[in-house]
Amino acid sequence: MKTIEIKNVTKKFNDRIAVNNLSFCTESGKIYGFLGPNGAGKTTTIRMIMGIIEPDSGEIKIFGEKISEKLKGQIGYIPEERGLYKKYKVIDLLLYFARLKGMSSEEARSNIKIWLDKVGLKDRANSKIEELSKGMQQNIQLIISLINDPNLIILDEPFVGLDPINARNMKEIILSLKESGKTVIFSTHQMNEAERLCDHIFLINNGVKVIDGSINDVKKKYSKNFVTVEFGNKAVNLEDIELIEKVYYEGNKVEIEIRKNSDYNELLRKLLERGEIKRFEISESSLESIFVEVVTNEV
C-alpha cells in the first residue's frame, strides 16, 4: 500500500528553488532514509508532506488523499526544531497531546504508561520537562508522535543529541514500527544509521532527487570495490600497479580502490611482492562514501 505519493513538486522561496520537480513514493512496512546535505530541501519537503507549507506546483497525497487535519492524525512527526512546554509535568504534557489526537483519558493513560516504560522513563512521569536531559526530552517527543499508533511516522534528525543507549533504543523502536507494518521516514546526516536501518533511500541535492532506490540496488549501482591491506612494515608506493585506481595511505595500512573487473588474487600476488602482508580484506563502498561522491559530483 502506498502511503506517500509526491509528483513533480516544486517549492520556491523568493528566487531560490528549495525543491525542484521532486517525485517519489513510499509503501507500508518499510523504512526510508531521506538524505541530503544541509540546505538540500529535506526539511522543506517534510513540511510540505505535513501540510505546514504548500508546494508551488505538483501534487502530494497521503494514503491516496490530499493532506487534511484528519490525515495529520494518522501521521507521527518529530520536527527538526524540538520544542516542549518546559514547565509541564511529563504525564500532563503527554495527556494533553494524546487528548488533542482524539484519545480518551483512559486509553491515553494506558498508552503513556507503556511508552514511558519502553523508553526507560516510567519513574519520571511526574518530573517537569525542564528537569529532563536533552535525550530524555527527545524520547518524550517520540512518545507524542507515536501515542495514537499512527501508520506513517516522519522523524527529522531523530538521532541528534542522543547518547549511545538512547540511540540504540531509538533504533529498536524504529525497527519495531516497521515490523508492525508502519511506514517510517527519517531524515538524517548519520549515514551509518541509515545504512543499518533503511530498506530504501532517497538522496536529494539542491532540491533535486539524485538517488531513489533500495539499499541493495544503490550499493550495486554506486559501490566501488575496496581492499584494505595492512603491511608488516610501512607501506611502499603502490600506485604503479595497474590493477589499482587509487590508494589511501595510513602508516602500514592502505585502502585501495581497485579497477573494475580486476582479479583479487592477482592483486594479492603483486602486493606480496612489495612486502609482508598481515591483513587483506575486501569491502564495498559505505553509504557515506557513496553519499559524498554523488553529492560532490553533483555540485
Average pLDDT over residues 239-263: 87
Q: Per-residue pLDDT tens for 61-71?
A: 999 999 988 88
CA 241 → CA 218, 227, 245, 255, 273, distances in Å? 29, 14, 9, 14, 11
Q: Per-residue pLDDT tens for 27-61?
A: 999 999 999 998 899 999 999 999 999 999 999 99
Q: Minimal CA–CA distance to 46: which of 73, 74, 17, 9?
A: 9
Structural domains of the chain, ranges and CATH numbers in brackets: 2-220 (3.40.50.300), 223-298 (3.30.70)
Residue 260's pLDDT band, with cuts at 50, 70 and 90, is confident
